[in-house]
Amino acid sequence: MINWESIDTVLLDMDGTLLDLHFDNHFWLTHVPQHFADQHGLELEQAQQQLFPRYRQVEGSLDWYCVDYWSERLNLDIVQLKHELAHKIQLRPNVVEFLHYLRARGIEIRLVTNAHEKAIGLKMQHTWLSPLFDMIISSHQFGAPKEEPAFWRLFQQRYPFDPRRTLFIDDNLAVLHTAREYGVAYLLAISQPDSRQPERQVRGFPAIHSFLEIIPGYGGR
Ligand SMILES: [Mg+2]
């Protein structure tokens, strides 16, 4: 499936790719609404009805991914609430084996996420993954999310890589489309970003469930 001879750099998304999206879904769909409900004397469903349209308004923008934005808008300490739920942070299947495989091949490994630095810090603290990356990049440092072409231009200017010899894995299809338009040659989606949700049918990109599928010798294709 992947010809590793033609790849120098692997760019990896964090939430829903390396980490189970269940944490984030539970956080935004239940944990935050529950605290919002408590604060305003609402039922959980009422809080969800108020919050979900507000989420959708900024979906895909940098604000959506910004803990400071939501702390201010909702008057809740989002970082503190994330810490309360940190026991739910889990790796997706076979992430560590995959990172060791890439390292053994001498491939440069970059974590490239829309998550805010504070959220990255929490997730690294609970997964011990950070020593396995050559670079950890938040799109917040470029002022544009991965959904926008500007991110890719600025990211490559600052930290050069050859898109023709790069593999990018992300569970967000809008992000994969932007990366494709920018010229990233090898793109993979994730078929089950949230372990509590069914596998989805991904259109337009090849998708994997476990990283073992792309490690030769592990029954990889
Ligand atoms: Mg993701």
In the reported structure, the alpha carbon of residue 35 is separated from the centroid of ligand 1 by a whole-number distance in angstroms of 24
Write out the residues surrounding ion ligand 1, Cβ under 5 A.
13, 15-16, 171
**Residues 64-79: what's their mean pLDDT?**
95
Residue 84: count other Cβ atoms within 10 Å of its Cβ: 12
In the reported structure, the alpha carbon of residue 171 is separated from the centroid of ligand 1 by a whole-number distance in angstroms of 5
In the reported structure, the alpha carbon of residue 74 is separated from the centroid of ligand 1 by a whole-number distance in angstroms of 23
Range of the domain at 71: 23-87
Grade residue 1 by pLDDT with cuts at 50, 70 and 90.
confident
Q: Is the pLDDT of residue 220 over 80?
A: no
pLDDT of residue 219: 57
Do 47 and 154 belong together in one domain?
Answer: no
Q: Is the pLDDT of residue 103 over 80?
A: yes
- pLDDT tens per residue across span 9-57: 999 999 999 999 999 999 999 999 999 999 999 999 999 999 999 999 9
- pLDDT tens per residue across span 187-202: 999 999 999 999 999 9
Mean pLDDT of the chain: 96
Grade residue 168 by pLDDT with cuts at 50, 70 and 90.
very high
Nearest Cα to 18, choosing from 98, 76, 80, 81? Answer: 98
In the reported structure, the alpha carbon of residue 126 is separated from the centroid of ligand 1 by a whole-number distance in angstroms of 17
Nearest Cα to 191, choosing from 210, 167, 176? Answer: 210
Do 193 and 134 belong together in one domain?
Answer: yes
Residue appearing with tokens 């509590």: 196
Nearest Cα to 17, choosing from 114, 153, 142? Answer: 114
Q: With contact defined as beta carbons under 8 Å apart, do 189 and 206 qualify?
A: yes
In the reported structure, the alpha carbon of residue 198 is separated from the centroid of ligand 1 by a whole-number distance in angstroms of 16
pLDDT of residue 217: 82
Do 108 and 39 belong together in one domain?
Answer: no
> What is the residue type of 84?
E
Q: Is the pLDDT of residue 218 over 80?
A: no
Number of structural domains (the chain) is 2
Q: What is the CATH number of the domain that holds 144?
A: 3.40.50.1000
Asked if the structure places residue 220 within a domain, the reply is no
Q: Apex CA 92: angle with CA 57 and CA 97, to 5°? A: 140
Percent of the chain clearing pLDDT 70 (strictly above): 99
Do 38 and 58 belong together in one domain?
Answer: yes
Q: Is the pLDDT of residue 205 over 90?
A: yes
How many Cα neighbours within 13 Å face the side chain of 14?
29
**Residues 172-179: what's their mean pLDDT?**
98
Strands (E), the chain: 9-12, 108-113, 135-138, 166-169, 186-190, 207-208
In the reported structure, the alpha carbon of residue 73 is separated from the centroid of ligand 1 by a whole-number distance in angstroms of 23
Do 177 and 95 belong together in one domain?
Answer: yes
pLDDT of residue 221: 44
